[in-house]
Structure 1
Amino acid sequence: MLPLYTNAVALIQVPSVWGYIAIFGLTIAFGTMLLPTKKFDIGDGWFFQWIMSIALAFTLFIVHLCIGSPRIWPLTILSGFLWSTGNITLVPIVKRLGMGIGMLIWNMVSLLIGWASSRFGWFGIRPEMPGNETMNIVGVTLTAMSVSIYVFIAPTSVGQEVAGQNTQDSETTHNTERNVSGSTMDSDPLLYQEMVPVFHRFWRSRTAQRILAVLLSIFSGVLYGTVFVPIIYVQENYRDASHRGIDYVASLGLGAFIGSTTYLLLYALATRWQRSSNGGNERGTPFLLLLLPSWVTGVLCATGQACWLIANEALQASITFPIAATLPGAFSTLLGTLLFREVQGIKNYIKLAVALSFTLAGSILTGLSK
């Protein structure tokens, strides 16, 4: 029996059904990848994201060896670097918005950037025309609308966490006010006295923290939406480049490892690794206890990325992005609600039900638009 692929060019096209199976796989993988960390305080997240990236790179390299070690193109390593840059915002987002809501916001941005770049041919890649353009646009619109509804769902854990921060930091704020009032070095001490406490109170407020998390989600969504652009560009413009998506898993893993390690070293230099003297994060779980959950998260993420590459090949990016960018977040939000009660209250339940309906309808229409 002939193999389905050679190392350079596919002998036969991957069936569309494989693409839908891959989408199901990435939905489960991405939707559950943060569950192993729910019982741990991962602190500022730098050690977590580094171990996660190592696990992702290791898993994808094993896949790379299993499929015959295809050529690694330098430009495709940029895909992993883009992913690692977006990944460093994961912990701050989840801590402020919850496991599902943050994912859904960055997925909306990723959806729009990924769909538009592949549909209209941004960044030097060729435009992809779906079989039913109207159905594709309606599906994308519905999925984008679903995420706009998710934004207004306030997770219970976030409110409690921010409230706890306000209580713990009230004494610090009071001391700051007292120190400022006694300052003689500022040229305008009265103005300084009024502005600093106001800024501190606003910065520690729930509103400010949610705004910060939303901005970080948008930033990471832009990066996630362009992750596959270097790979697609190489596939379309490099003569000897492989046309099968799974051949680029090693590039993705290598870029992720390089990026995450670079950011960790920069962070260590900037802070002089002050927390390492305590054997872990200053207010988090010791490093050794984070190894296993961080590793499992990385393996799940690698599984999702591999499935996404297969789905892109079997279907096309303008179809897979709207589905793959919303279903995992919806599944994660549903799990967060059922298992950890991140979402509570009748109004929030209604919003969640409407948003999930939009997500499901949009995903179905987009999938059928091929």
Structure 2
Amino acid sequence: MKASEEPMPKWAGFVGCIIASVFFGSNLLPVKQFSVGDGFFFQFIYCVAVWLVGLILDLILNNQRFYPLVLVGGVLWTTGNLATVFCIKTCGLAVGLLIWGTTSLITGWAGGRFGLFDMKAQVPTTETKLILNYASVILAASSAIFFLFIKSTTKTAALPREVSYLSSSDGESSIQLGKVGETADYSHQNIDDDFPFLNRLTDRVQKILGCAFAALAGMFYGSMFIPDQYIRDHASKYTYRGEPPPLSGLYYINSQYSGILLSSLFYFVIYAALKRNKPVMNPTVVLPALASGAMWGVANIGFIVAISALTSAVAYPIVSVLPGIVTSLWSLFLFREIQGRNNYILLGLGMLVRILAAVLSGLSA
């Protein structure tokens, strides 16, 4: 699709939201029962699968252009993803998810709505749609509070190893670790050898650092689509053989995924060097990581379609809340991790608020 052609229809954006929500909410299923160690090896294999999805898409589209600027978006995602490991170990998984999920939503939404970073502002066409859009963001951000107080009832004492929690819900962290026998709220008091310097810091300082890194990770997540949106908004600067860049975000996916792979490789090499060529690698996680990464790659394609058709001001509130519902349904019905009257009430209220937020955002399109 070239800039001179018609933009994507809105219905395609809503289909993209559904695809993104289902796959973002399910992409950690393949690795739930496997040890991912400290996450570096897992992320590298995961990112290889992501890149392969982008390559296949490029071949299907017969895309012959590459956008170096869009590599930055991939680097931002990988960096934010690694930062979440530190966040989980210091401020806890539940608090970390709340902080980086909220900052990611606000960053992604505000970037499009107000035209940050020299992008074109995406202003709703009527005052009613403007109010609906603001309301959807407020509801989406506040809905995470309900999930913060849900307690997992999974019995895990039988397996003496690390597992990955099924908690990634909106294209964000794919490295969420917990020791079996502990709760999903990875307390900052349970520090292992990955960050030994933390043992010299007080609990208060650890938590402050964790919250700060969680907010930074969220900003990185919410900024990953800014480079390709900037190119589309400044088409005259990026013409190639007299042709402007495409309007569809699909043509930028492989460039972004290449940034994800290259930055993941860079971080893994640094990590292996720091480990004196003895990185933590579990070979049994390779196939699950590939499957999980491929699912994330498909989900992100749905997300970029939603942004292309609906604008980021509309797509971000939707894709920030619906994957969490999918994840909760897996936890509720498949893994039986959520039980008890209070948990059911909190889950029901959280889902209701999130569905309302998605509906309001959709109506503002």
Task: Please state which band the TM-score falls in when normalised by the shorter chain.
Answer: 0.7 to 0.9
Q: How does 1:16-31 map to 2 (within 5 A)?
A: 16-31=10-25
1:234 alignment partner in structure 2: 231
1:313 alignment partner in structure 2: 308
> What CA RMSD, in Å, does the superposition of the two structures yield over aligned residues?
3.2
1:272 alignment partner in structure 2: 276
* 8 Å contact kept, 2:150–2:347: yes
User: Do residues 162 (structure 1) and 182 (structure 2) align?
Assistant: yes
1:51 alignment partner in structure 2: 45
1:162 is paired with a residue whose SS is coil
The residue type equivalent to 1:226 in the other structure is S
Q: Classify 1:211/1:350 alpha carbon distance in 2 versus 1 (closer, same or farther; 3 Å).
A: farther
Post-superposition offset of 1:215? 5.2
Give unpaired runs (5+ residues) of structure 1: 173-198, 281-285
1:342 alignment partner in structure 2: 337
* 8 Å contact kept, 1:105–1:147: no
Post-superposition offset of 1:237? 1.4
The residue type equivalent to 1:140 in the other structure is V
1:66 is paired with a residue whose SS is helix
User: Do residues 366 (structure 1) and 324 (structure 2) align?
Assistant: no
Post-superposition offset of 1:201? 11
User: Do residues 138 (structure 1) and 135 (structure 2) align?
Assistant: yes
Alpha-carbon distance in structure 2 between the residues aligned to 1:311 and 1:160: 37
Alpha-carbon distance in structure 2 between the residues aligned to 1:342 and 1:34: 15
Q: Classify 1:232/1:311 alpha carbon distance in 2 versus 1 (closer, same or farther; 3 Å).
A: same
Q: Classify 1:159/1:61 alpha carbon distance in 2 versus 1 (closer, same or farther; 3 Å).
A: closer
Post-superposition offset of 1:74? 1.2
1:246 alignment partner in structure 2: 250
* 8 Å contact kept, 2:113–2:123: yes
2:26 alignment partner in structure 1: 32
Q: How does 1:74-85 map to 2 (within 5 A)?
A: 74-85=68-79
Give unpaired runs (5+ residues) of structure 2: 155-177, 193-198, 240-244
Alpha-carbon distance in structure 1 between the residues aligned to 2:179 and 2:66: 46
* 8 Å contact kept, 2:110–2:116: yes
1:106 is paired with a residue whose SS is helix
Alpha-carbon distance in structure 1 between the residues aligned to 2:273 and 2:200: 27
User: Do residues 351 (structure 1) and 355 (structure 2) align?
Assistant: no
2:5 alignment partner in structure 1: 11
Q: Classify 1:355/1:10 alpha carbon distance in 2 versus 1 (closer, same or farther; 3 Å).
A: farther
1:257 alignment partner in structure 2: 261
Post-superposition offset of 1:145? 1.0
1:181 alignment partner in structure 2: none
Alpha-carbon distance in structure 1 between the residues aligned to 2:354 and 2:41: 33
Alpha-carbon distance in structure 2 between the residues aligned to 1:230 and 1:349: 41
Aligned length: 324
TM-score by length of 1: 0.78
Alpha-carbon distance in structure 2 between the residues aligned to 1:352 and 1:101: 17
* 8 Å contact kept, 2:140–2:320: no
Alpha-carbon distance in structure 2 between the residues aligned to 1:344 and 1:94: 24
Deviation string 1:93-125 (CA, Å, 9 cap, x unpaired) is: 678966x98656533221111111110111111
Post-superposition offset of 1:334? 2.8
* 8 Å contact kept, 2:7–2:247: no
1:152 alignment partner in structure 2: 149
Q: Classify 1:43/1:34 alpha carbon distance in 2 versus 1 (closer, same or farther; 3 Å).
A: same
Q: Classify 1:256/1:67 alpha carbon distance in 2 versus 1 (closer, same or farther; 3 Å).
A: same
Please tell me whether Structure 1 or Structure 2 has the larger radius of gyration of its CA atoms: 1
- Of the candidates 92, 109, 117, which is equivalent to residue 123 of structure 1? 117
* 8 Å contact kept, 1:26–1:305: yes
2:161 alignment partner in structure 1: none
* 8 Å contact kept, 1:101–1:329: no
The residue type equivalent to 1:40 in the other structure is F
* 8 Å contact kept, 2:83–2:213: yes
